[in-house]
Amino acid sequence: MAGVLDSLSPKLLEDGRVLGVTIIAILAITILLRRISQRFSSDYQFWKSQPWAGIRSELFSGTRAYFRSFFTVRDMVENGYHSYSTSRKAFVLPVFGGKPWIVLPKSSAKDLISRSDSELSSDDIHIEQLQVNYTLGPKGVHLMRVPLQFDVLRRQLTRKLPLLTGAVYDELDKGFKQYWGTDTTNWVEVEAFPTCLKLVTRAANRVFAGEEICRNEDFLEHSKQYTQGTVFASMALRLIPKVLRPLASPILLLHNNQHFRVCARICVPVVQERIRNTKAKQTDESFEWEPPVDALQWLVEECINTEDPKELDPVLITRRLLLLNMVAIHTTSISITHAILNVNTFEHSEQVIASLREECNRLLGENNGVWTKAALNDALRLDSTIKESMRCDDLEPFSTGRMVVHPNGIDIETSTESSLHVPHGVTLCLPSHGIHRDPEYYYSPLEFRPFRFSEPREVFLKSQKELPREQSSASDVQGSIKQTALDLKTTALVTTSDTYLAFGHGRHACPGRFFAAQEMKLMLAYVLQNYDIEKLSEKPPSTMLMGTNVPNEKAKIRVKRRA
């Protein structure tokens, strides 16, 4: 590295310093101007009356808190949780590159998720956060307001998961052999997060787009770059005054548009062929073509059913496909990487791995050596291990975001005795990071306990097997058993609650969580059955960017294929 720096001319280094200082100065001025404008806004008294997290006794305390939030927003949420949330009070969270958010206490969760979309909107947050009118093309807002791609997840994907389990496993098998290797003798060093990202992208797109697209390395790479570019461009645009965004966006999105063009070049011909074949099949059932079982096909059918020719634009459908990638790929990749690393660095990892392998072997033995949806549902330890990892290493420190869209604002309940009036345009959320680490809800919350959620279910199932038949058939006992079984089902990975918010909560909880859970369980099972991982002494530190808990991209693990 020193040699590279030495080879750079002093002028180039000086120009780089000047550019860096200029960017920092622009950011500082923008945030300072935003802070000043807030003082003259109609909501100033509201913001002034609320307690703030992350504010210190220092000059320009608010502006400096905004800058600190880029790296320390997770700490701000946790400190605010202990200072205010546990007393059933809301607090203000500075958010770098945007307006502050109101973090509600857990006691507000029921009221928050029960509000109508005319009062609180989840779509408006995504539109604002992603700056979709710039980052997703001229029809970016339309993609979010008419979310056909997410309707497909809700209506089709979850229902058809049993048909897709084998395809996902097949793609994981091919991907692991390619990215982790097949050497059964020597340890092979691989980058944990980058390879998991490739594996998830490939396996997910087997379901989203089909075999042809999911194995195209150009698509895998450029769709990843497109997602990352969209996130960073939206972050930069939020820092820029609205009046300047139309001028800045073409520059900020220059490379991202190139990534999109590569993806479109790959996807558009496939989409066009799907449209032609689907229409032909609908016109003539004898047409020799079998519709593929994947989200792209369901999306094409959904677009045809709208009877709106504009929805059949192959470029627009490609953008919808990439939106599915955007919401599903990175979140799943981050979560499964954390799970693999947490299991590997756990104090009693050998026992945990042996127990997980026993469960996998037993379930496969009961299902003719093939993973099915039913078998995965019975994989209680796999399910618990991933859920516990997502609790300990939550993706973001807040969850269940909603924007107030009612023109007059809303009164949101913070306790049984009081409520808070929140003006129009303010974003509300719940402090998931604090809740997930609260000893009131989780025993030893700072410990990673892989079977935290599966042990009660396994104990219950074992007790049912040992219960005498005449006793278990009694009606009062049957009622008690059913209720206990229902209660224990709430510990499943896909079940959301006001104490487990990794997938959000309520009717706007992540619609793809059922597929994500199946994919992660298949990945962890595949790793356990087919690879040994050399134990790490400690988990590599994550990178925290605006609160997002991203595994260390440079962290490497040594793997060896099991014979």
DSSP characters for 228-243? HHHHHHHHHHHHS-GG
Task: Give the pLDDT of residue 65.
Answer: 86
Question: By the 8 A CB rule, do 383 and 492 touch?
Answer: yes
Residue (of 508, 271, 517, 261) closest to 386 by Cα position: 517
Tens of pLDDT, residue by residue over 485-513, are 556 678 899 999 999 999 999 999 999 99
Give the tokens for residue 562.
Answer: 């099991």
* Mean pLDDT across 385-404: 96
Q: Is the pLDDT of residue 334 over 90?
A: yes
In a 10 Å sphere around its CB, with 0-12 CB exposed, 13-18 middle and 19+ buried, how is residue 222 labelled?
buried
Q: Count Cβ atoms below 10 Å from residue 44 Cβ, excluding itself.
A: 12
pLDDT grade for 64, boundaries at 50, 70 and 90? confident
Tens of pLDDT, residue by residue over 239-288, are 888 888 999 999 999 999 999 999 999 999 999 999 999 999 999 989 99
Give the tokens for residue 125.
Answer: 């947050």
480 contact partners, CB below 8 Å, separation of at least 6: none
Backbone angles phi, psi at 86, to 5 degrees: -65, -15
Q: Is the pLDDT of residue 29 over 80?
A: no
Q: Count Cβ atoms below 10 Å from residue 551 Cβ, excluding itself.
A: 26
Task: Give the pLDDT of residue 244.
Answer: 87
The length of the chain is 563
Averaging pLDDT over each range in 61-70, 245-254, 354-363, which range is the top one?
Answer: 354-363
Task: Give the pLDDT of residue 563.
Answer: 86
Task: Give the pLDDT of residue 40.
Answer: 58
Sorted by where each starts, the structural domains of the chain and their CATH numbers stand as 42-131+397-430 (no CATH), 146-395+431-461+489-561 (1.10.630.10)
pLDDT grade for 25, boundaries at 50, 70 and 90? low
Beta-sheet pairing, 101-103 with 91-93: antiparallel
d(CA 47, CA 102): 9
Tens of pLDDT, residue by residue over 174-188, are 999 999 999 999 999
Task: Calculate what percentage of the chain has a pLDDT beyond 70.
Answer: 88
Question: By the 8 A CB rule, do 134 and 140 touch?
Answer: yes
Give the tokens for residue 275.
Answer: 């449209």
Q: Is the pLDDT of residue 102 over 90?
A: yes
Give the tokens for residue 84.
Answer: 């205010």
Is residue 510 marked as binding? yes
Question: By the 8 A CB rule, do 324 and 333 touch?
Answer: no
Question: By the 8 A CB rule, do 256 and 227 touch?
Answer: no
Task: Give the pLDDT of residue 20.
Answer: 53
